[in-house]
DNA sequence: GCATACGGTTTAATATTGCAACCACACAAG
DNA sequence: CTTGTGTGGTTGCAATATTAAACCGTATGC
């Protein structure tokens, strides 16, 4: 009767949600990608209960999204920073942001826009491209069964 | 003490999560984008309790992600289909999929790959571009305060 | 019509969330 | 080294959400 796990699911969307698809994890990851590192920073920024923050940080560590590093200010405390696997979540944050920018009923309540650091200009919308460079919408794609792993090009067993 | 709402948050990521950031909604949306339309189809595909499915469908309707249409087979039942606002979630599903493809520990358990319908070739990774066409990573972006709404270019009030 | 499938609602058990109090350790001051 | 405070949690309890399973009205199918 516990919350059903999606870990063994064959759908990659479900598998991702199993890792960080709960109510708080993505916001913690967002904060981490904004440079927040300390327990107290997350707690103050998100306003969630400390016990929940503690368990979320623990599972994000277990799952390789975050890692702990000795505190940057020389104190004996530790800090939480994104691993490469955690940084890989960035496009998902961008996609969420752009969805709100496009479809939210009250876009005036959005505080920030994402710009490229060099020019300060807004970024473009994420684009899904085919291998020959066409822009694809939802209707232009299908799912195919994943081909078996390529068998190392020797004798085909 | 109820689950804290993110609806009024100024962060666009949080606002999106408030709409479909719970455990099941994105999977319902995924199913809908795969062409599933009927209550029973969702329930069989996802294996979630029917009461939960009912409440999720209801809130997704309220929030303009889904709409009901008369059943396509002529029966008196209704079907659930994505609105344009719901179709807009597609890039988020793609981003989640691609994250799993890149970082999952057991990529062999992923059943499908996304291909472009015309050529049948795998799609490329979502790319974030600057206005002058450079590919941007997480470190190449910043957030700026959203500029005030442009005041209709007449007398500036 | 009569049985069955569909699309839910209701009920009760269990799990998760949220809040607040508590606690241990680090660090700073005296 | 002793006291005081901030940080980073843990613990316990109340409220809420999830789950499974029973139930039910309306459509279909025969």
Same domain for B122 and B73: no
Q: Is the per-residue pLDDT at B52 higher than 50? A: yes
Measure Cα distances from B140 to A117, B125, B129 in Å.
5, 17, 10
Is residue A119 domain-resident?
no
Same domain for B76 and B104: no
- B129: which DSSP letter? B
Task: Give how many domains chain B has, as a whole number.
Answer: 2
Write phi, then psi, for B69 (nearest 5 degrees).
Answer: -130, 155
Measure Cα distances from B135 to A23, A117, B125 in Å.
30, 12, 11
Q: Is the per-residue pLDDT at A15 higher than 70? A: yes
Residue A80 sits in a domain whose CATH number is 1.10.10.10
Q: Which chain B residues in 30-69 lie under 8 Å from chain A, judged by CB atoms?
A: 30, 33-34, 47-48
- E-strand ranges in chain B read 66-70, 78-82, 112-116, 141-145
| Residue B111, min C-alpha distance to chain A (Å) | 5
Same domain for B61 and B108: no
Which of B21, B52, B20, B46 is closest to B34 using CA atoms? B46
Report the SS3 class of residue A144.
strand
Same domain for B69 and B20: yes
Is residue B6 domain-resident?
no
Is residue B146 domain-resident?
no
Is residue A49 domain-resident?
yes
Residue range(s) defining the domain that contains residue B67: 12-85
Asked if residue A104 lies in contact with residue B18, where contact means CB atoms within 8 angstroms, the answer is: no
Report the SS3 class of residue A72.
coil
The average confidence (pLDDT) of chain A is 94
Q: Inter-chain contact B115–A143, Cβ cutoff 8 Å?
A: yes
Is residue A126 domain-resident?
no
Contact flag, residue A4 CB and nucleic strand C, below 7 A? no
- B94: which DSSP letter? H
Cα atoms found within 13 Å of the Cα of residue A77, Cβ hemisphere only: 9
Note the ipTM here: 0.93
Same domain for B79 and B20: yes
Is residue B62 domain-resident?
yes
Is residue A70 domain-resident?
yes
Same domain for B78 and B24: yes
Structure tokens at A152: 């190392």
**Nearest-by-Cβ selection for B88 from A6, A99, A123:** A99
Radius of gyration of chain B (CA): 20
**Nearest-by-Cβ selection for A95 from B87, B95, B100:** B95
Same domain for B125 and B95: yes
Asked if residue A106 lies in contact with residue B10, where contact means CB atoms within 8 angstroms, the answer is: no
Same domain for B62 and B104: no
Asked if residue B22 lies in contact with residue B11, where contact means CB atoms within 8 angstroms, the answer is: no
Task: Render pLDDT for B82-114 as a digit per residue (tens, 0 to 9).
Answer: 999 999 999 999 999 999 999 999 999 999 999
Same domain for B80 and B100: no
The residue written with tokens 């063994």 in the block is A8
Task: Render pLDDT for A95-112 as a digit per residue (tens, 0 to 9).
Answer: 999 999 999 999 999 999
Structure tokens at B105: 């520990």
Residues written for chain A? 157
With cut-offs at 50, 70 and 90, classify the pLDDT of residue B3.
Answer: confident
Is residue B77 domain-resident?
yes
Same domain for B17 and B80: yes
Measured between its terminal Cα atoms, the distance across chain B in Å is 44
Candidates A11, A108, A146: best to mutate against B (most CBs of B within 10 A) is A11
With cut-offs at 50, 70 and 90, classify the pLDDT of residue B153.
Answer: low
Same domain for B80 and B20: yes
Write phi, then psi, for A9 (nearest 5 degrees).
Answer: -65, 150
Task: Render pLDDT for A55-103 as a digit per residue (tens, 0 to 9).
Answer: 999 999 999 999 999 998 889 999 999 999 999 999 999 999 999 999 9
Asked if residue B128 lies in contact with residue B136, where contact means CB atoms within 8 angstroms, the answer is: yes
Q: Inter-chain contact A114–B17, Cβ cutoff 8 Å?
A: no
Examine the fold and report which residue of B85, B100, B122 is the final residue of a domain before the chain moves on. B85
> Which chain A positions have a beta carbon within 8 Å of B15's beta carbon?
100, 104, 109-110
Structure tokens at B142: 């910043």
């Amino acid at each position: 009767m516990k919350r059903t796990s999606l870990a063994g699911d064959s759908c990659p969307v479900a598998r991702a949600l199993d890792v960080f698809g709960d109510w708080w994890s993505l916001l913690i990851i967002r904060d981490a990608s904004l440079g927040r590192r300390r327990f107290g920073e997350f707690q103050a920024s998100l306003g969630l209960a400390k016990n929940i923050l503690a368990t979320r940080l623990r599972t994000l560590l277990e799952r390789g999204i975050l890692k702990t590093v000795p505190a940057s200010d020389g104190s004996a405390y530790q800090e939480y920073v994104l691993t490469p696997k955690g940084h890989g979540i960035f496009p998902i944050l961008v996609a969420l942001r752009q969805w709100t920018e496009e479809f939210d009923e009250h876009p005036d309540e959005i505080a920030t826009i994402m710009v490229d650091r060099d020019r300060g200009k807004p970024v473009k919308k994420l684009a899904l491209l085919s291998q020959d460079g066409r822009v694809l919408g939802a209707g232009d794609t299908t799912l195919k069964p994943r081909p078996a792993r390529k068998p190392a090009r020797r004798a085909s067993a």
